[in-house]
Amino acid sequence: MKALWVVPLCFLCLLFTLGRAADSHLWRRPGGFGLGVVGSNAFPPSPPTLVNLTLVPSAAAKGAVCLDGTVPGYHHHPGFGSGADNWLVDLEGGGWCNDVGSCLFAIKGHRGSSNYMDKIYFDGILSEKPERNPDFYNWNRVQIRYCDGASFAGEGHDAENKLYFRGQRIWSAVMEDLMSKGMRSAKQALLTGCSAGGLASILHCDEFRALFPQSTKVKCLSDAGFFLDVVDITGGHAVRWLFDGVVTLQGAAQNLPKSCTSRRDATSCFFPQNIVANITTPFFILNAAYDTWQIQQALAPIRVDPKETWKACKFNRTACDSNQMQILQAFRNTMLNALQGFAALDKNGHFIDSCFTHGQIYDPNKWYSDNSPTIRNKRIATSVGDWYFDRSQVKTIDCAYPCDNTCHHDV
């Protein structure tokens, strides 16, 4: 089994990966950090499907390579029956690298090199079991592995440190490969992503739409990707500092939406709140109002809280005092306010629950089960399906914590 870098920090998007159930990965060194995905706390009673890795050798000639120069890869579970001509393409999450040190750390694992990638389990929105994934179970389901550290948006090369910032090229090369393998004939398509992959689905949604003829139904979804440009507990901007490093180091500015960069600085255009209202393709935002990654890394990261006054609260919601809870409720309000322009558009949908979590589409217990989180008695998977298939409009916001007793809290 390939080596893994494991640093327990916070729960992120759930991903059932061979050999890394309960893998929490933090790209970190003094002065730089990035966040990775974690696995499930335990596999569900019947194991999900194990899907082989497909590498894209032709990507090398296009310079479409991971941080270390290895070729990118993806996992594809073929569609069947009535879903054989439909495609769900998921962009894996896993944080970002914002300086040379954190990128050099990333190439020692699957976040920066396909040498460390292996088979993965598909579950939740990627499951082929109708009892776990009622609307998309028989579609072609693909997950594109994440190894560029910039939400598939970088363009550059650090020759001295032998680092390749080629996220945009990876996106293009993998799309080209999938189109050649049948996706060009899709009747319906859905682009999804979680965490850094959710941000990537926001950045690439209209590009995805442009791949298909107008007769193809195309929509996009972001899970736990609505990262806010918020003030941290010291009055600073911890996430802006992180994103500025990513955009600057990796040359992402040229690949960010022109509708934003024509009016704002490039770093601002890495924040979804400045992008989503201008996406022309129908889009769905799934996010926890108390996003644990953002609480831990945007509001109160250790670099701005050296005395760890927020440590207990960050990792146990019941340990938050009244002042801390007031800040968390203000964070929720900031998220809801940032969604207003997006939410006003009829084509879009959203599901904002009041859970302390980060990532809900891969975990069957959150996505679709008897005890999944609900708002107005409707589960996440049902809500997404209703929106995608135009069964009903879905613009759902939960009441404030602690009112929802259906949540699967991570902390």
Give the model confidence (pLDDT) of 23-45 as tens digits.
233 343 323 333 333 333 334 45
Per-residue pLDDT at 201: 99
Give the model confidence (pLDDT) of 240-275 as tens digits.
999 999 999 999 999 999 999 999 999 999 999 999
Residue 389 phi, psi (nearest 5): -90, 10
- Among the options 68, 291, 363, 398, which is catalytic? 291
What's 26-397's CATH class? alpha beta
Per-residue pLDDT at 9: 30
> Which range (11-25, 47-61, 289-303) has the least confidence?
11-25
User: Percent of the chain at pLDDT above 70?
Assistant: 89
Per-residue pLDDT at 358: 98
Per-residue pLDDT at 237: 97
Give yes or no for residue 290 having a pLDDT over 90: yes
Give yes or no for residue 19 having a pLDDT over 60: no
Q: Phi/psi class of residue 331: alpha, beta or left (left: φ > 0; alpha: ψ in -120 to 50)?
A: alpha
**What mean pLDDT, rounded, does the chain reach?**
91
Cα dist from 384 to 110, 148, 223, 395, whole Å: 30, 28, 11, 10
Q: How far is CA 392 from the centre of its chain?
A: 25
Confidence band, pLDDT 50/70/90 cuts, at residue 46: confident
Q: What is the mean pLDDT of residues 287-301?
A: 98
Q: What is the mean pLDDT of residues 189-210?
A: 99
Domain ranges of the chain: 26-397
Per-residue pLDDT at 389: 99
Confidence band, pLDDT 50/70/90 cuts, at residue 17: very low
- Among the options 24, 113, 151, 195, which is catalytic? 195
- Give catalytic status of residue 195 as yes or no: yes
Per-residue pLDDT at 47: 84
Per-residue pLDDT at 13: 56
Angle at 365 between CA 363 and CA 371, to 5 degrees: 160
User: Percent of the chain at pLDDT above 90?
Assistant: 88
Give the model confidence (pLDDT) of 104-155 as tens digits.
999 999 999 999 999 999 999 999 999 999 999 999 999 999 999 999 999 9
Give the model confidence (pLDDT) of 356-389 as tens digits.
999 999 999 999 999 999 999 999 999 999 999 9
Amino acid in position 146:
Y
Sign of the CA dihedral running 204, 208, 214, 218: negative
Contacts of 115 (CB under 8 A, 6+ apart): 2, 68, 70
- Quote the pTM value: 0.91
- Give catalytic status of residue 291 as yes or no: yes
Beta strands 188-193 and 217-223 are parallel
- Give catalytic status of residue 358 as yes or no: yes
The Cα 38–Cα 264 span in angstroms is 33
R_g over Cα of the chain? 19
Per-residue pLDDT at 45: 58
